[in-house]
Amino acid sequence: MLEKFPDPFLAEISTQPAAIRRAAAGLHRQLPALRRVPAVRNGRNLVFTGMGGSYDACYAPVTALASAGVTALMVDSAELLYFRRATLAGRTLLVVVSQSGESAEVVRLVSELDSGAERPLVVSVTNGVGNPLARLANVALDSRAGQEQGPSTMTFGAALVVLAALADVLAGHSAEDAIRRIDHEAQRAADSTERVLGAVEERAGTLRSWLGDRSVLTLLARGAGRAASEMGALTLKEAARFPAESMQAAQFRHGPLELAGKEAAVVVIAIEPVTRELDTRLAGELVGSGAAVLLITCDGDQVEGAQTIALGEVDRGLAAAPAIVPIQLLAWRLAVDRGYRPGTYTRASKITTRE
């Protein structure tokens, strides 16, 4: 199947639905691990951490937990390692997300945690469990995304599935109920991702035309949608070497709104129901300023003058998986047009093993 694509990056973008389904199927085989989570939690404070796209994925479960009345912090691993490690006491459950389980800051952080009663307990989410992080964890969860060469695509969507199940368990649901619900919701997320991927190269070309020669590209989202906006901005920089900024949509009004105008392109990811009206209103204002606007929604709300992509009904904890696909396709097309080999690295690397 992969041979029909012009390069590995587009192939990995296009096989995300299979990765999402693989992650969901893998949950059933991880029932014993998920059953152990309540005992490991045992009233402990929750902290989610990671680096890069793995960190970005944490926006979804942290937001879902907050909606369930469960407080969970989100701090990147480098900040925890050097500035906030003292907050990680024995009453902490640290959820560490890393596609490889080998990222420098993540491995060092968990390796250097104090041993004994004051050591936080660790739940890891990695692609495979034959890695340093999984071996150091009290509970190791496997996203089962499969082999990936380029910037995070399959590993991002698969991690969202595992994190959604973990969030359900941390919110008080049984492991069995969490797996049953997320398995069902993951199938819908995979179906949505397949729809967005229809006529993949044609859609990528349409998105490239939408951007045109604009030099300012901003991605706006709220809540769980920030997983897609943050990961999307990272993908544009990593895959296409194109400067893009992700912002919380409300923060955009506090100064950066001055960027709006004919030189700006703005992606508005409006997948949170409670703020949908606010986000679509902002999209309309941006269109009025002359900006090119791409509106990504679940329900297909239209804003005159904006290009709209409808995802359909998708669980908010998983909606970032299909929502990021248009941004990935834009990154792929930009990389091709700018003369880069899509999905390859010149300065960075797939696994960051140096601080």
223 and 241 both lie in a single domain:
yes
Read off the pLDDT band of 341 (50, 70, 90). Answer: confident
164 and 29 both lie in a single domain:
yes
233 and 183 both lie in a single domain:
no
Domain count, the chain: 2
Q: Is residue 112 assigned to a domain?
A: yes
Of 195, 216, 232, which marks where a domain is finished? 195
Q: Is residue 347 assigned to a domain?
A: no
Read off the pLDDT band of 352 (50, 70, 90). Answer: low
214 and 78 both lie in a single domain:
no
Can you list the positions of beta strands (E) in 166-287? Answer: 216-221, 245-248, 264-270
170 and 310 both lie in a single domain:
no
Report pLDDT for 280.
Answer: 96
Q: What is the pTM of this model?
A: 0.95
Task: Tell me the C-alpha to C-alpha distance, in Å, between residue 217 and each of 55, 192, 249, 267, 319.
Answer: 21, 25, 14, 8, 22
309 and 202 both lie in a single domain:
yes
Give residue-wise pLDDT tens across range 150-169. Answer: 999 999 999 999 999 999 99
Q: Which structural domain, as residue segments, surrounds residue 312?
A: 196-337
Q: Cα separation of 72 and 62, whole Å?
A: 6
103 and 136 both lie in a single domain:
yes
Report pLDDT for 300.
Answer: 78
148 and 238 both lie in a single domain:
no
Q: Is residue 346 assigned to a domain?
A: no
Q: Is residue 50 assigned to a domain?
A: yes
167 and 33 both lie in a single domain:
yes
Q: What's the CATH number where 133 sits?
A: 3.40.50.10490
Give residue-wise pLDDT tens across range 61-117. Answer: 999 999 999 999 999 999 999 999 989 988 999 999 999 999 889 999 999 986 666
205 and 300 both lie in a single domain:
yes
174 and 130 both lie in a single domain:
yes
Amino acid at 220: L
Contact 140, 126 (CB under 8 A): yes
Q: Is residue 348 assigned to a domain?
A: no
